[in-house]
Amino acid sequence: MIPTFVIFLREGIEASIIVAILLSYLSQINKREHFRDVYLGVAAAFVLILVGGIAAYLLIKQYSGSNVQAYFETVTYVIAASFLTAMTFWMHKHARTMSKELQERSDVALSKGTRMGLGVLAFQAVGREGLETMVFTLAIIFASSRQAGTPVHGKLLLIGAALGLLVALAIAFAMYRLGAKLNLRRFFRVLGILLMFFAAGLLADAVQNLQGLGWLPFGTHVLWNSSSALTEGSNFGDVLHSLVGYADHPTVLQGAVWLLYVATSVAVFFVLSRPPKHAPTKRAEPVS
């Protein structure tokens, strides 16, 4: 529940903010008749992502327990971790200029005189976030269901996703209605760091799969065995595993990959998050 809440909250806020910016700008320039185009683009993106996600899940479910499932899971983990890393740094870089960029693209779409332009813009923006969310959700489902004796908590995952999306929509609606220009940089910074731990766990899962397939036959020594205290199959252990990659008997390579990724990504993120240092102004020389 918690992993899907975090993912849908983060992705939902970004997608909702994009839609809110588009609607707010159209309202400012008295082009409210184009609201319908934006809504159609958003709806098309939702339908495409929902159908694609269900189809992908049902397809891989047919190969349950086989190497094909392990291959698909591994690829999903790597792609999801890559998306998480890329989107975190992208949002940090473009948070300040996102509104201006969307307004410029809206002007271009309107200047072409076609109603489809804004719909396509909304479809692209929301579709990108939806695609990422679909990959993350599949990764969470796989990370949860792969644990021995652990059922997929479908209802809890769905509740977490719905709550995250509702909170995201509420924030975006408040921004649109109240005209508040909220500074979400700190929010995305904190959530970005949390999601990097989630990405590290996905990479550790990918390593475990590859070691199980015999593709990485080194670093297989078990670092510790904490299954007697907290198993991955327990409710709390499953949440920790899905959120930060907790393992009750990780291998050396799993631990090394997890630690290297977290240390590197968080360090780079903190460095890039530092405010720029202003060069000291030179004192004017007295005129003799």
Separation CA 148–CA 150 (nearest Å): 6
13 φ, ψ to 5°? -65, -45
Separation CA 7–CA 20 (nearest Å): 19
For the chain, the straight-line distance linking the first and the last C-alpha, in angstroms and rounded, comes to 73
Report CA-CA distances (Å) from 70 to 95, 139, 182. 37, 12, 43
- Note the pTM of the prediction, 2 decimals: 0.73
DSSP code at position 222: B
Separation CA 70–CA 189 (nearest Å): 33
251 φ, ψ to 5°? -90, 170
How high is the mean pLDDT of the chain?
78
User: For residue 6, what pLDDT is reported?
Assistant: 75
Mind listing the pLDDT tens digit for each residue in 157-193?
A: 778 788 888 888 787 777 666 654 555 566 667 777 8
Q: Find the helix packing angle between 116-145 and 67-94, rounded to 10°.
A: 130
242: tokens are 């899905």
Mind listing the pLDDT tens digit for each residue in 25-45?
A: 888 888 888 888 888 988 888
More confident site: 50 or 153: 50
**Residue 106 near residue 121, CB atoms below 8 Å:** yes
User: For residue 84, what pLDDT is reported?
Assistant: 80
Q: Is the pLDDT of residue 21 over 50?
A: yes
**Residue 12 near residue 207, CB atoms below 8 Å:** no
The pLDDT > 70 percentage for the chain reads 80
Torsion of CA 79, 84, 86, 88, to 10 degrees: 180
